[in-house]
Amino acid sequence: MNALAATNRNFRHASRILGLDSKLEKSLLIPFREIKVECTVPKDDGSLATYVGFRVQHDNARGPMKGGIRYHPEVDPDEVNALAQLMTWKTAVVDIPYGGAKGGIGCTPRDLSMSELERLTRVFTQKIHDLIGTHTDVPAPDMGTNAQTMAWILDEYSKFHGHSPAVVTGKPIDLGGSLGREAATGRGVVFATEALLAQHGKSIKGLTFVIQGFGNVGSWVARLIHERGGKIIAVSDVTGAVKNQNGLDIVDLLRHKEKTGRLTNFSGGDHMDLNELLTHECDVLIPCALGGVLNKENAADVKAKFLIEAANHPTDPEADEILSKKGVVILPDIYANAGGVTVSYFEWVQNIQGFMWEEEKVNNELKKYMTKAFQNIKAMCQSHNCSLRMGAFTLAVKRVARATTLRGWEA
């Protein structure tokens, strides 16, 4: 089941639990606007290349739309749609005043030079500049994009609209980016994990962890868990997997990855098969990479007691059922990885105020939002007698439905 079908299914389940009006349910699923643009860009060799760019703006009942822009060869309109909808629910779960959006350009970033990427980003911005904005739709980095991409969008947008630092988040610090943004998604995952474990009378210290994915999110999760005394016994990324039953030294591993560009051949651990990682014996499993990694083929073999979804949609619905029956506690992606968008919100707030915060304030506020959101999810689980995933979805859908109704959606 693809991401769109799974998201729709979760939404429908939540709206049944809440007893939503069928017309309201339908109107919440339909995106506000879908944009498709053709970006023709001169390549360095003088030839012309055309790339297709998308932006799906899903819902703006609770505030401006918010979501990443990815540069990836398989930017599929269906997937962008699902991710835009997911952003609507994610922002509602942590109660920040946004709706969802998502965008992307179908390209392979590593095949493009820096100047080709810049030209592509500027052309894309020229085509959508009147459809994004500080109080309309605020893009952010995603797969294949970064702070530099945001700097180009900001510059191009500002040519049309005057200096507008709040039009994108995830910017370089020198252009109004927020301290703590780089680590925000990973730090949010750790705060979410702490909230869940505390409810089960446990803490990170002394538990064993397996982390799939060692990019921005995975490496920060590993670093922060390691600092808190958690024992990380296996880690993987696209280059390979490494394990050590006594706990990997994450600081050393990060150094090794920076130096060699890969996790393999690390002296502080043994090589392991990538396919074994998800079913490795541990207390807490944290997938931080791609979607759909837990499916009906491997779910029955998962040995973790807690599954923290740091990636978007890592567990497909069949796996969800198998794991739940086994008693695995799943912390859903729409809550677990919301730290990134929460700190993006803090960045936007700082830009609008023209007043920047200390990193300590950013991290403290993030902890406050993540902890409060967990308590709200638990309350929904208790009142509707449902899983954490449905607790998060019902919380989100209820908030968006309420905002939509209060604004008068039938007029």
pLDDT in tens, 266-281: 998 999 988 888 999 9
**Residue 344 is labelled as binding a ligand:** yes
How far, in Å, CA of 326 to CA of 348, rounded?
Answer: 42
Task: Tell me: is residue 159 an annotated ligand-binding position.
Answer: no
Residue 130: the pLDDT is 97
Is it the case that residue 411 has pLDDT exceeding 60?
no
Q: Is 102 a catalytic residue?
A: yes
In sequence order, the 6+-apart residues with CB closer than 8 A to the CB of 400 are: 28, 59, 61, 62, 88, 89, 92, 99
Count of H-run helices and E-run strands, the chain: 13, 12
Identify the pLDDT of residue 171. Answer: 97
Judge whether 185 is annotated as a binding position: yes
* Phi then psi dihedrals of residue 395, to 5 deg: -60, -45
Give CA–CA dist 236/269, Å, rounded: 12
pLDDT category of residue 165 using cuts at 50, 70 and 90: very high
pTM for the whole thing? 0.93
pLDDT score, position 59: 96
Say what percent of the chain tops pLDDT 70: 99
101: three-class secondary structure by DSSP? strand
Q: Which residues neighbour 118 within 8 Å (Cβ) at sequence distance 6 or greater?
A: 152
For the chain, give the mean pLDDT. 94
Two structure tokens written together for 393? 């979805």
Position 4 confidence tier, pLDDT thresholds 50, 70, 90: confident
pLDDT tens figures, 89-129: 999 999 999 999 999 999 999 999 999 999 999 999 999 99
Catalytic residue (choose from 23, 36, 43, 102):
102
- The C-alpha atoms of residue 70 and residue 400 are separated, in whole angstroms, by 25
- 66 a known binding residue? yes
pLDDT band of 251, cuts 50, 70, 90: very high
- CA 365 to chain CA centroid, Å, is 18
pLDDT of residue 77 exceeding 80: yes
pLDDT at 52 over 90: yes
385 is in an annotated binding site: no
d(CA 396, CA 90): 7
